[in-house]
Amino acid sequence: MHSFQHNARTKIDHHLQKLISQSNDLPYSPLFLAARYSLLSPGKRLRPMLVLAVCESFGIDQDHALIPACALEMIHTYSLIHDDLPCMDDDDLRRGKPTLHKVYPEWHALLTGDFLLTYAFEILSTAPYLNADQKLALVNSLAKHAGAHGMIGGQMIDLLSEGEAIDWKVLEQMHLGKTSGLIIAALEFGGIISGASSDALESLHKAGSAIGIAFQLIDDVLDYTGSQETLGKTIGSDRERSKATAVSLLGLEETRVKAEALLQMAKANLMTLPHSMPLLGMLFNQMIHRES
């Protein structure tokens, strides 16, 4: 792992631990324990890492970005907790461990998701180093990309499409919301914290759309070809529920080609930024050229 990633990961995990520290008091103890179970699982920390990578290249101290980066990881984690619930995807495994509702009662998992979603906005509103306009821009970016126009909208399309014959256009719209949503937010976060111009924010937004879809295409490929052991979650579950995926629509090879083309498009968007973005380029490569 690159030293940037190693250091970033340590800082992010440290801050996540601090933000949801252990407590012996009601109602914090049962909420925080459950939140820590999901939040401190060995995930990729991809979205926080993207925020820090943008700031680093803009010459901004990583400390300015850590709380907002953690807010993104909270939103990502809440979405996994809710998506895994029996009434949604009904998954038993996540990040190599039993899903939260397998360890706690279902209501406890649902409420923990609600808590992480709400808490993300609380910590954005009090993030250090940033002025009121920046904090407000972060709140707006997160709410938009995590909401109906982003992640929740994508999940809605996903669940409505179960067992339906959908075309590539609908699948792309779904991925653009469900997966690109928070990745766009991560890149915008980096831009906002770095005081980027609106042109630069626009380029980051476009790069996020492209790399997010590519990332999901590779997920579909791995869901088709991978083993449960390397992925740490139940595989082939999309096929089982007869969900359309990129692989089922385009075939394995064309899906890989499309992901590669989107990666190049995302990198081309980075080239229009006022600073060179070597860390972001590296992360983008890893997002597409991976085994799990």
Q: Which is nearer to its own copies, 115 or 189 (CB)?
A: 115
DSSP state of 263: H
Q: Which is nearer to its own copies, 1 or 107 (CB)?
A: 107
Q: Which residues bind its own copies (CB under 8 A)?
A: 26-28, 30-32, 82, 85, 87-88, 105-108, 110-111, 113-115, 117-119, 121-122, 124-126, 131-133, 135-136, 139-140, 142-144, 146-148, 152-157, 159-160, 170, 173, 177
Distance from C-alpha of 262 to C-alpha of 278, rounded to nearest angstrom: 18
Least distance in Å: CB of 3 to its own copies?
Answer: 35
Residue labelled with tokens 């991560």:
186
Least distance in Å: CB of 104 to its own copies?
Answer: 11
3-state SS assignment for residue 271: helix
Indicate the length of the chain as a whole number: 292
Cβ atoms within 10 Å, residue 26: 8
Backbone angles phi, psi at 105, to 5 degrees: -60, 155
Least distance in Å: CB of 63 to its own copies?
Answer: 20
Distance from C-alpha of 134 to C-alpha of 228, rounded to nearest angstrom: 41
- What value does the CA radius of gyration of the chain take, rounded to a whole number of Å? 18
Q: Which is nearer to its own copies, 146 or 288 (CB)?
A: 146
Q: Which is nearer to its own copies, 237 or 286 (CB)?
A: 237
Contacts for 233 with CB less than 8 Å, ≥ 6 apart: 91, 93, 94, 95, 96
Least distance in Å: CB of 160 to its own copies?
Answer: 6
Least distance in Å: CB of 145 to its own copies?
Answer: 10
